[in-house]
């Protein structure tokens, strides 16, 4: 009866350990995901420092400085949230380990007590004569057979008990090591969080100082905002006019008079390209080899006067000086942009999708060229007054604007 109870206890203990193990694996997966996101944020902060702050002291408008500060503050706030989540997760793991250690110690005490009792009984009945007498005193062959089976099972159970003690002792040692490591990790996270919060405080103070400077010269700031708006709208008008012209020319060439106005009449080959492009939504490469998103897509609040809203129909990506714009997908050059008094740009057709790369100082391709994914299209312009190298990237399906952040991988 006692052996049955012990067997049940061992099985229950195994199930509990299995559940705890599965829980630990889930927490490990969550921790890895948080660590990956933390690494990404830290890399983004380094890129913002390198690409947006490098020239800040000597060059750059107050608007560029404000944008850079806002981006860095935003990433630091996200980083603090991530490290807080990691710290909370470690707390849960530490508490789980403490409970496991307590249970294992209790189980070990019971196992060792039972094992010691079994050893004492084995010692008392250690002689071969006693075991032989136990078998010979059987009243029947069947009883003798059952007693022999019992002696074998008893020996195997004793061996299993010893092995269970070894396993639990090793598990206890591993958990104690994990607990020590987790507590050190938590201390490091707390220290990192403290440093990030101090940096954030410094950045917020810089932001407040810059805000004060801007508000002292509100008219100059408003003038700069208005100038940028007009420049952006002029570029976007030309982009959309070129798209409409390209659609009309393509449909004329195909001889498809029934084509819907503002939409490409696609050949089977162009349909295949469009379908492949669409299938890669969220996985397209960046239009630069290395960079950081400076301005996203859509409506956003003004950095200085939050009540004022701005509209961005594309994204702006900051890169290293001398960087090239590259094709996000295979396609055909359908137009070259040249804004009067501005810089150059390139439009690529991917079926009925159009990607536009603007703010180029030099072009490597011409209208009609077929390009491959990652192929360099031109050198991105570097503004000598601000020191910034920025690519403006737009995405359309026929004449409909798309959000590049939904199409480019992790943009």
Would residue 221 count as lying in a domain? no
pLDDT of 24 over the 70 cut: no
Same structural domain, 70 and 117:
yes
On whether residue 49 sits in a domain, the answer given is yes
Residue 86: domain span:
2-216
Percentage, residues of the chain above pLDDT 70: 67
371 & 265 share domain? yes
Classify burial at 73, counting beta carbons within 10 Å of its beta carbon; exposed 0-12, middle 13-18, buried 19 or more: middle
Write out pLDDT tens, residues 72-104. 777 778 878 887 877 777 777 777 777 776 776
pLDDT tens track for 250-278: 888 877 666 778 889 888 899 999 999 99
* Residue 209 pLDDT class (50, 70, 90 cuts): confident
Asked if residue 161 and residue 59 are part of one domain, the reply reads yes
54 — phi, psi (to 5°)? -60, -40
Q: What is the CATH number of the domain that holds 396?
A: 2.70.70.10
Residues 6+ apart with CB under 8 A from 390: 294, 316, 317, 318, 319, 359, 380, 381, 383
Q: What is the pLDDT of residues 107-133, one digit of tens each?
A: 667 766 665 666 666 555 554 445 555
Same domain, 397 and 308: yes
* CB distance 359 to 381 below 8 Å: yes
Q: At what angle do helices 128-136 and 141-216 cross, to 10 degrees?
A: 120
Residue 171 and residue 274 in one domain = no
* 3-state secondary structure at position 126: coil
Separation of alpha carbons 362 and 377, rounded Å: 9
pLDDT band at 281 (very low <50, low <70, confident <90, very high): very high
Residues 356 and 298 in one domain: yes
Do 352 and 375 fall into the same domain?
A: yes
67 shares a domain with 165:
yes
Residue 8 is predicted with a pLDDT of 42
Q: Are residues 193 and 280 in the same domain?
A: no
* Residue 228, CA distances (Å) to 40, 162, 172, 308, 310 in order: 30, 78, 65, 14, 11
What is the domain count for the chain?
Answer: 2
Contact 350, 273 (CB under 8 A): yes
Q: Would residue 156 count as lying in a domain? A: yes
Q: How far are the Cα atoms of 15, 254, 322 from residue 391, in angstroms, in the given order? A: 57, 33, 12
Do 92 and 9 fall into the same domain?
yes
- Do 383 and 275 lie in one domain? The reply is yes
């Amino acid at each position: 009866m006692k052996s049955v109870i012990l067997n049940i206890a061992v099985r229950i203990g195994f199930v509990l350990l299995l559940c705890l193990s599965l829980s630990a694996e889930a927490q490990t997966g969550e921790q890895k995901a948080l660590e990956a996101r933390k690494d990404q944020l830290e890399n983004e902060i380094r890129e913002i420092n390198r690409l947006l702050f490098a020239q800040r002291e000597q060059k750059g408008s107050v608007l560029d400085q404000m944008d850079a500060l806002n981006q860095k503050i935003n990433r630091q706030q996200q980083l603090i949230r991530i490290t807080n989540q990691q710290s909370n997760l470690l707390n849960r793991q530490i508490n789980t380990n403490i409970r496991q250690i307590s249970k294992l110690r209790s189980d070990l005490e019971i196992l060792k007590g039972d094992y010691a009792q079994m050893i004492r009984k084995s010692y008392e009945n250690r002689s071969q004569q006693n075991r032989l007498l136990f078998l010979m005193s059987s009243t029947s062959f069947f009883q003798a057979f059952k007693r022999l089976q019992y002696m074998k099972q008893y020996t195997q159970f004793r061996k299993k008990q010893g092995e269970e003690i070894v396993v639990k002792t090793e598990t206890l040692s591993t958990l104690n090591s994990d607990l020590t490591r987790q507590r050190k990790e938590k201390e490091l996270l707390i220290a990192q969080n403290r440093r990030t919060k101090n940096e954030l405080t410094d950045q917020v103070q810089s932001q407040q100082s810059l805000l004060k400077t801007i508000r002292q010269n509100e008219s100059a700031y408003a003038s700069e905002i208005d100038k940028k708006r007009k420049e952006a709208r002029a570029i976007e008008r030309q982009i959309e006019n070129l798209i409409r012209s390209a659609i009309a020319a393509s449909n004329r060439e195909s001889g498809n008079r029934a084509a819907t106005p503002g939409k490409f009449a696609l050949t089977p080959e162009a349909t295949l390209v469009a379908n492949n492009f669409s299938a890669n939504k969220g996985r397209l490469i960046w239009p630069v080899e290395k960079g950081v998103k400076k301005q996203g897509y859509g409506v956003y609040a003004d950095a200085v006067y939050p009540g004022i809203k701005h509209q961005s129909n594309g994204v702006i990506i900051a890169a290293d000086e001398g960087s090239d714009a590259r094709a996000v997908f295979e396609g055909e050059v359908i137009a070259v942009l040249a804004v009067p008094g501005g810089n150059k740009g390139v439009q690529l057709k991917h079926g009925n999708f159009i990607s536009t790369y603007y703010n180029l100082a030099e072009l490597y391709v011409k209208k009609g060229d077929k390009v491959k994914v990652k192929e360099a299209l031109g050198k991105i312009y570097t503004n000598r007054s601000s020191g910034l190298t920025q690519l403006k990237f737009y995405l359309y399906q026929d004449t409909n604007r798309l959000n590049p952040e939904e199409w480019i991988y992790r943009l």
